[in-house]
């Protein structure tokens, strides 16, 4: 198997967010590869094209320290925060990278070398349309949670009104006191949980880490950028907020 894996060319297996419609102030993409990749060439291999196929000028924060996971199979691409944040100079001068109502394509070039130096099997494209910016923090009061039946291992489904960041949704939700299998579905608007043992009657809590972000970096109870002249009507200092559900 190892020999076979070494012979196969790497490819892009997923790009998140997976939704085809994304907010103008989108903060990041994750690109997942089937094999470990090479460092040092990401910014030459990724392009964001507009409707006419023209590259958008410097949309991303081109960090020399490319943000890989330890295995180098997932790259995090941050949009230049200066072009997202309200009132920041670059946004005022050259505008935002993404414009409402327009369509774009994120292109991953085939020439990108994997860790062994071989190019990808094929290039990869992610097309998406842009809608208005999202400045609203997450409010778990608007989330729905299913009520699995006692004595079963029915999947618990937490449904969000808008997509969450893929990596954070997978990592920052848990069911208090139960370790189970989690997954993310429906364009990152669903968090699913299967308990190892059948559910028991009673009250459970899904604990939501307040560092969870939506696609624009708004957290639970705190938007990406805080308007300091806004009256603070709701302040969440807790590290986790609970979402209660009943098993009947």
Partner 1 sequence: MKLVLALAVTGALACAEPAASLRVGKVALKSAGPLAFGPEGILFAGDSAAASVVAIDTGDRKAGKATTIEVKAINEKVAALLGTSPDQILIADAVVNPVSKNVYLSVSKGKGPDATAHIVRVDGAGKLTEQSLDNVKHASIALPDAPSPEMKDRRGQTLRNESITDLAFVDGKVFVAGLSNEEFSSSLRAIPYPFESATKAAGIEIFHGAHGRFETNAPVRTFVPYTIASKPHILAAYTCTPLVTIPVSELTPGNKVKGRTIAELGNRNRPLDMIVYKKDGKDFILMANSSRGVMKLPAEKLDGYEGIVAQTEKQGVPYETVADLKGVQQLDKLDDKSAVILSDAAGSLDLRTIALP
User: In the complex, which residues of this chain contact partner 1 (CB under 8 A)?
Assistant: 27-28, 36-40, 57-58, 61-65, 67-72, 74, 76, 78, 80-82, 85-90, 92-94, 113-116, 165, 167-168, 170-171, 181-183, 211, 213, 217, 224-229
The distance of closest approach from Cβ of residue 207 to partner 1 in the complex, given in angstroms and rounded to an integer, is 12
Q: CB of 63 within 8 A of CB of 28?
A: no
User: Shortest gap between Cβ of 242 and partner 1 (angstroms)?
Assistant: 18
Q: Exposed/middle/buried for 52, CB within 10 Å: 0-12, 13-18, 19+?
A: exposed
Between 38 and 189, CB nearer to partner 1: 38
How far is residue 235 from each of residues 165, 176, 219, measured CA to CA in Å?
Answer: 22, 23, 12
Contact 102, 130 (CB under 8 A): yes
| 223 to 42, 80, 104, 210: CA distances (angstroms) | 29, 17, 25, 11
**Is residue 6 within a helix (H) or strand (E), and if so which, with residue range?**
helix 2-7
To partner 1, the closest distance from the beta carbon of 85 in angstroms equals: 6
Nearer to partner 1, 69 or 99 (CB): 69
Q: State the nearest-atom distance from the C-beta of 201 to partner 1, in Å.
A: 27
* In the complex, least distance from residue 248 CB atom to partner 1, rounded to whole angstroms: 27
Q: Which of 26, 18, 224 is nearest to 133 (CA)?
A: 26
Q: Toward partner 1, which CB reaches closer, 58 or 121?
A: 58
| Beta carbon nearer to partner 1, 110 or 129 | 110
The alpha-carbon radius of gyration of the chain (Å, integer) is 20
Nearer to partner 1, 231 or 248 (CB): 231
């Amino acid at each position: 198997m190892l020999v076979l894996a070494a012979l196969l060319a790497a490819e892009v297996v997923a790009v998140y967010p997976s939704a085809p419609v994304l907010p103008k102030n989108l903060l990041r993409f994750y690109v997942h590869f089937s094999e470990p990749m090479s460092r040092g060439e990401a910014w030459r291999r990724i392009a964001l094209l507009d409707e006419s196929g023209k590259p958008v000028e410097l949309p991303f924060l081109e960090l020399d320290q490319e943000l890989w996971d330890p295995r180098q199979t997932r790259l995090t691409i941050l949009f230049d925060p200066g072009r997202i944040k309200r009132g920041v100079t670059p946004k005022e001068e050259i505008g935002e990278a993404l414009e409402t109502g327009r369509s774009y394509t994120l292109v991953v070039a085939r020439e990108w070398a994997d860790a062994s130096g071989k190019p990808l099997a094929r290039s990869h494209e992610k097309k998406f349309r842009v809608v208005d910016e999202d400045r609203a923090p997450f409010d778990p009061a608007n989330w729905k949670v299913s009520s699995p039946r006692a004595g079963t291992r029915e999947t618990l489904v937490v449904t969000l009104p808008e997509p969450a960041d893929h990596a954070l949704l997978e990592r920052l939700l848990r069911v208090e006191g139960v370790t189970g299998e989690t997954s993310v579905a429906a364009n990152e608007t669903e968090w699913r949980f299967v308990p190892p043992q059948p559910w028991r009657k009673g009250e459970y809590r899904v604990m939501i880490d307040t560092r969870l972000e939506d696609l624009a970096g708004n957290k639970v109870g705190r938007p990406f950028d805080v308007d300091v002249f806004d009256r603070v009507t709701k302040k969440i200092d807790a590290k986790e907020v609970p979402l209660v559900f009943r098993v009947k």
